[in-house]
A and B are shown apart, each in its own frame.
Chain A
Amino acid sequence: MRWQDPALQAVYSAPGSELPGEFPFTRGISAEPKPWIMGQYAGFGTPAESNQRFRALLQAGVTGFSVALDLPTQMGIDSDDPRAVGEVGRVGVAIDSLADIEILMDGIPLEQISQVRTTANSIGYIWAALFVALAEKRRVNPAEFGMFIQNDVLKEFIARGTQIFPPRASLMLAVDCIEYCAQHVSTWTPLAMSGYHIRESGASATQEVAFTFANARAYLDECVRRGMSVDRVAPTLFTFLAITPDFLPEVAKFRAARRVWAQLMRETYGAQEAASEQLRIFAFTAGSSLTAQQPLNNVVRASLEATAAALAGVQTMHVSAYDEALGVPTEAAATLALRTQQVIAFESGLTQTLDPLAGSYAVEQLTDELVESITALMGEIEDRGGALACLESGLLAEELSAAAYRQAQLVESGERVVVGVNKFPAEAEPLEVFRIDEATEAAQVGAVRKVRAERNQPEVDSALARLSADVAAGRSVMPATIEAVQAYATIGEIVAVLEQHLGRWQPTDAF
């Protein structure tokens, strides 16, 4: 008797239909199945504390990982600045200078890491400089490891909110970083075109992708204006998108995003290389779908979301920990999130078949409809002068705020079910939550002051003077920033120099 089941194939298709790895890449950018890179977002406290967590994650089999930065770091404020009080080491690790990066990466072989991701946006160019400097000190070629810098400062103006300078100046700094990486370390990802935070701020899937690509166009247009070839830049980029519980629409969204991107690159930017047309996706399970009520339900939500991304095909994934609506994840919760990815990737067999939902009437129609709605909205933004103009006028922020309000009302009315919140509520046992050590702030304040006291001050002054001259002359800030971090200038000092020339973004009271 025959006992064998049919073997799983890498590709199933109908005659004449689009295949995986073929333009416009709806079905995926590769013709061969490959597991995604499992990167978990982590980092808190002092660089030494985060270093311990990273070592544990590497031990657990993580192939790429992420450095969450605290808010003062993300906003170019040193740990001993009065504006940093209460925030040091809270939502990520505190980094003030190259000395902290040396501690953060101590004992971690750079060349064994496929991807280090970071939430540096407004300070993306400084982050690149810090790792160029670290690699030089360790005599490692920076191209031997992967660095993934979010650097999408434009989306900070509509979601997430860590912008420092006005939009146009912010864009120029981001492009300085993109330009440097495209020229010197083309293995790095100098920009993650981020829709995740836009979606988390209440956007629809259409808004998420359209706003993200509209922002991407602003960066690309500036790259092209500076004389860079789109085929030099586009292959270094990633997009960073959310996975919400809308299972089938989310599968369709990733497929649609790939098709829209491929068409944009080929038709609008005249890309010649397939790599420019292939949208590389980093998918992240939606933090906003996590609830503080009955937090263990979040394990199920994250598993479903991760499964949708696995079905759609992505290059990198992060799964959120179940306790994130309550605080920074505990180690146990962070490990379970990684195990969730591993079970899906290695036990389900999903990674053996590319785009297995292709041909489903629902998924194909949703994909087509999303391509249409995303393209139409991108067209509207272009008609209004592009992303930069729409950011400056506050239009995109206003659109998002209205979308968030609509979403909240759907939950409030019960039209959108959230189990344990507006349906099936129950008292749950309180969870053990992660506590940030209150001594962190004092330790980091002491550390940055020690760095300032012990460094070669004339070297710092000369690097900062060069930075000031370069930004005033409209030159790239990268060379002088690298020199400054090598001299142990702090992030706050570098930003303060730029602020004298670029001004500061002013918050708005519109809602």
Chain B
Amino acid sequence: MNLPRGRVLIAKPGLDGHDRGAKVVARTLRDAGFEVIYTGLRQTPEQVVAAAISEDVDAIGLSILSGAHVALTRRVLELLGDADIPVLVGGIIPEADADELREMGVAGIYTPGTALAEIVAEVERACADG
């Protein structure tokens, strides 16, 4: 029996309704052998973190294309506190914000055009670290 490569929560925090990227990443990870839970649209950071903890995931992928990535990611990280779950973020993220997110402790940042193989490899690494 093949064990899953990790359990991953793909989340859409905030009001952004663009879910193409989130769903493509969710399907890609599932086909690559991960267990994937998708939150659906419009989750508060509180709901995202509660789902991550109750589902006992190894990593969280946030998808935010509305420009609210800094505020929402900061809140998710605060709520996670000591829970050792790495967070990766995808979206429309300018370089300056990417630096800020990395300083907060975000494990990976993906903008339009990132290769899916790169995301799979980094999620696997994050799951192993988490």
Contacts and interface: CB of A to CB of B under 8 A. Distances in A.
B67 A404 contact: no
Interface string A427-439: 0001001001000
Contacts, number: 111
Interface stretch (A17-25, A70-78, A246-254, A487-495): A70-78
B28 A422 contact: no
B107 interface: no
Interface stretch (A51-59, A85-93, A236-244, A359-367): A85-93
B40 A90 contact: no
A202 interface: yes
B15 A75 contact: yes
Interface in B77-130: 92, 94-96, 111-113, 115-117
B94 A91 contact: no
A401 interface: yes
Interface in A487-511: 507-511
Given A509-B38, A509-B40, A83 B17 contact: no
A391 to B, nearest CB: 14
Contact of A293 (B41, B44, B113): B113
Interface string A286-310: 0010111100000000000000000
Contact of B66 (A87, A293, A325): A87
A162 interface: yes
Contact of B115 (A156, A159, A422, A511): A422
A63 to B, nearest CB: 29
A199 to B, nearest CB: 11
B24 to A, nearest CB: 5
A328 B67 contact: yes
A159 B21 CA distance: 12
A405 B67 contact: no
Contacts of A405: 23-24, 27-28
Contacts of B67: 87, 90-91, 327-328, 436
Contacts of A156: 17
B17 A162 contact: yes
A168 interface: no
B40 A507 contact: yes
A408 B40 contact: no
A156 B15 CA distance: 13
A349 B17 CA distance: 40
Contacts of B71: 85-86
Interface residues of A, number: 46
A90 B66 contact: yes
B71 to A, nearest CB: 3
Contacts of A404: 20, 23-24
Contacts of B40: 507-510
A433 B96 CA distance: 9
A420 B63 CA distance: 23
A436 B69 CA distance: 13
B74 to A, nearest CB: 9
A90 B23 CA distance: 23
Most buried by A among B19, B72, B115: B19
Contacts of A85: 71
B15 to A, nearest CB: 4
A160 interface: yes
Most buried by A among B38, B96, B112: B112
A430 B97 CA distance: 13
Given A90-B66, A328-B67, A418-B113, A511 B22 contact: yes
B38 A511 contact: yes
A86 B27 contact: no
- Which 9 residue pairs are nearest across A and B when measured between Cβ atoms? A161-B17, A86-B71, A507-B40, A71-B15, A90-B67, A86-B68, A292-B111, A421-B113, A511-B23
Interface of A: 71-72, 75, 77, 83-87, 90-91, 156, 159-162, 200-202, 288, 290-293, 325-328, 401, 404-405, 408-409, 412, 418, 420-422, 430, 433, 436, 507-511
29 contacts: A71-B17, A77-B15, A86-B14, A91-B67, A159-B20, A160-B17, A160-B18, A161-B18, A162-B15, A200-B20, A201-B20, A202-B20, A292-B92, A292-B111, A401-B23, A404-B20, A405-B23, A405-B27, A408-B24, A408-B28, A412-B115, A412-B116, A422-B115, A433-B95, A508-B40, A509-B38, A510-B40, A511-B23, A511-B36
Given A288-B112, A436-B67, 16 more contacts: A87-B15, A87-B68, A159-B20, A161-B18, A162-B15, A162-B17, A201-B20, A291-B112, A292-B92, A327-B67, A401-B27, A405-B28, A412-B116, A509-B37, A511-B26, A511-B27
